[in-house]
Amino acid sequence: MTSKLGLKHIQEIAPYVGGRPISEVAREYGLDESKIIKLASNENPLGMPKSAHDAMLAAANDLGRYPDSNGFELKKVLSARLDVPADWITLGNGSNDILELAARAVAQFDDAIIFSRHAFAVYPLASQAVGARAVEVAPTPNYGHDLPAMLKATQSAGDKAKLVFVANPNNPTGSYLTPAEIESFLQAVPSNVVVVLDEAYNEYLAPEQRYDAIAWVKRFPNMILSRSFSKAYGLAGLRIGYGVAQPELTDLLNRIRQPFNVNSLAQAAAIASFQDHAFLQKGYEVNRAGYHQLVKAFDEMGLTYLPSAGNFVLVKVGEDDAAGARVNLVLLKRGIIVRPVGNYGLPQWLRISIGLPEENTAFINAFREILAK
Ligand code: PMP
């Protein structure tokens, strides 16, 4: 549809396409909702922790009032654990909010925003929304971020370069950057270019993959660390995430955020979830086991997949560019929702979010049958 209304760069945005909701798939294919398996949005298969559910219900008594716009209690808990002052923290309506605030705070029409091809779909959206030029950098051969190439692209954009998005682990490829790679990038990038390190899946990293991103926030005034409560903390439906940056950048984000961008239920649930170490640990273990379950099946089927540091796996389902959509449709009709990634430039692949053991088994069984045909 071409519109006479609005700005050209807004008209040109292709809206975000999320995983299909269970209710929608049930309606469309005449399926029983309770039997549908959704492995499409990198949600936590354990659901929301009980601790957070209880905290949320308690907070529900006060919904006639606005939330605490400054998120005092949640920032206190985050600040103590992360060892940064509370005024280094920005709460977001999902970490998505932080990504968009970053773009709006530092870039405008004709500026350049740099990110990797096959990285999170919101980077181009947030760039286009402010009229900036999205500079998409070709990935490494294994579909990871090519940070040296991203550095070159940033330098080539000169004064126009304002923002770089780096996802670790990346969605949808699951690729992982070592701390040494990230640190060299942060050291080399011009200090007037802001770097968002998007760690929405950070809690799924194996112990040997972990690193101290907060130490970088303390060293680099041009860095924003972004984290989510949607994945490992099980609160996707509540929409809450946070950014950590030094006061100069945090102050900018604070100026443009909506006054009450994070609702009170989300704040209460996040406090509980953040302190529920047993839930986090269980989620980690379920994810590890599910990852091995899926990749073992892919190995047996002789399929190519990308090693993933997140809670999802990208698997190649054919050589032609209709393969992902075709296999996805057959799975959908059988009540299994996964994510086709043609809009990420990966039409031969499907992204499978890691589920509970029985959900993974149901997917694997259907998948084997479909691919055998
Ligand atoms: N970053 C990445 C890499 C993601 O995959 C996602 C969710 N798909 C987000 C950020 C945003 O998540 P949320 O807004 O739910 O925190």
Contact between 208 and 349 under an 8 Å Cβ cutoff? The reply is no
What is the Å distance from ligand 1's center to 198 Cα?
Answer: 8
Spatial CA neighbour of 62 closest among 256, 246, 265: 265
Helix (H, G, I), strand (E, B) or coil at 144: coil
Tokens of 92: 């977001």
Contact between 121 and 127 under an 8 Å Cβ cutoff? The reply is no
Distance CA 28, CA 324 (A): 19
- Give the chain's mean pLDDT: 97
What is the dihedral angle through the alpha carbons of 328, 331, 332, 334, rounded to the nearest 10 degrees?
A: 170
What is the Å distance from ligand 1's center to 302 Cα?
Answer: 30
Ranges 5-19, 108-122, 306-320: which has the least confidence: 5-19
For ligand 1, atom 11: residue with the closest CA? 96
Candidate from 91, 118, 228, 239 with most ligand 1 atoms within 8 A of CB, to mutate: 228
State the amino acid at position 24 in one-letter form: E
For ligand 1, atom 5: residue with the closest CA? 171
What is the Å distance from ligand 1's center to 97 Cα?
Answer: 9
Nearest ligand 1 atom, CA 94: 14
Predicted local confidence at residue 1, as pLDDT: 59
Q: What is the pLDDT of residues 139-179, one digit of tens each?
A: 999 999 999 999 999 999 999 999 999 999 999 999 999 99
Candidate from 41, 95, 262 with most ligand 1 atoms within 8 A of CB, to mutate: 95
Distance CA 86, CA 81 (A): 11
Candidate from 16, 38, 90, 122 with most ligand 1 atoms within 8 A of CB, to mutate: 122
What is the Å distance from ligand 1's center to 157 Cα?
Answer: 27
Tokens of 295: 């990749």
Ligand 1 pocket, residues with Cβ under 6 angstroms = 42, 94-96, 120, 167, 171, 198, 200, 228, 230, 236, 241
What is the Å distance from ligand 1's center to 96 Cα?
Answer: 6
Tokens of 68: 């605490």
DSSP state of 321: T
Spatial CA neighbour of 341 closest among 173, 157, 160: 173
Contact between 196 and 164 under an 8 Å Cβ cutoff? The reply is yes
Q: How confident is the model at residue 19 (pLDDT cuts 50, 70, 90)?
A: confident
What is the Å distance from ligand 1's center to 251 Cα?
Answer: 22
Predicted local confidence at residue 175, as pLDDT: 98
Tokens of 278: 């047993």
State the amino acid at position 17 in one-letter form: V
Q: Which position has the token pair 């308690």? A: 58
What is the dihedral angle through the alpha carbons of 310, 101, 270, 284, rounded to the nearest 10 degrees?
A: 10
Q: How confident is the model at residue 15 (pLDDT cuts 50, 70, 90)?
A: confident
Predicted local confidence at residue 3, as pLDDT: 73
The packing angle between helices 22-29 and 323-333, to 10°, is: 80
The number of CA neighbours under 13 Å toward the Cβ of 258 is 11
What is the Å distance from ligand 1's center to 200 Cα?
Answer: 6
Q: Reply yes or no on whether the pLDDT at 17 is more than 80.
A: yes
What is the Å distance from ligand 1's center to 366 Cα?
Answer: 28
Q: Give the helix ranges, DSSP H, for 32-121.
A: 50-59, 72-82, 95-106
Q: What is the pLDDT of residues 174-188, one digit of tens each?
A: 999 999 999 999 999
Q: Give the helix ranges, DSSP H, for the chain.
A: 8-11, 22-29, 50-59, 72-82, 95-106, 122-129, 147-156, 179-188, 213-219, 247-256, 264-275, 277-300, 323-333, 357-372
Tally the residues of the chain. Answer: 373
Q: Verify cis geometry, omega within 30 degrees of 0, for the bond prior to 307.
A: no
The full DSSP string for 251-305 is HHHHHHS-TT-S-HHHHHHHHHHHH-HHHHHHHHHHHHHHHHHHHHHHHHTT--B
Spatial CA neighbour of 132 closest among 116, 163, 109, 154: 109
Look up the pTM and report it.
0.97
The secondary element (H helix, E strand) that includes residue 224 is: strand 223-228
Predicted local confidence at residue 343, as pLDDT: 93
The full DSSP string for 278-291 is HHHHHHHHHHHHHH
Q: What is the pLDDT of residues 22-69, one digit of tens each?
A: 999 999 999 999 999 999 999 999 999 999 999 999 999 999 999 999
As beta bridge partners, residue 228 has: 241
Structural domains of the chain in order of their starting residue, each with its CATH number:
18-47+278-372 (3.90.1150.10), 50-274 (3.40.640.10)
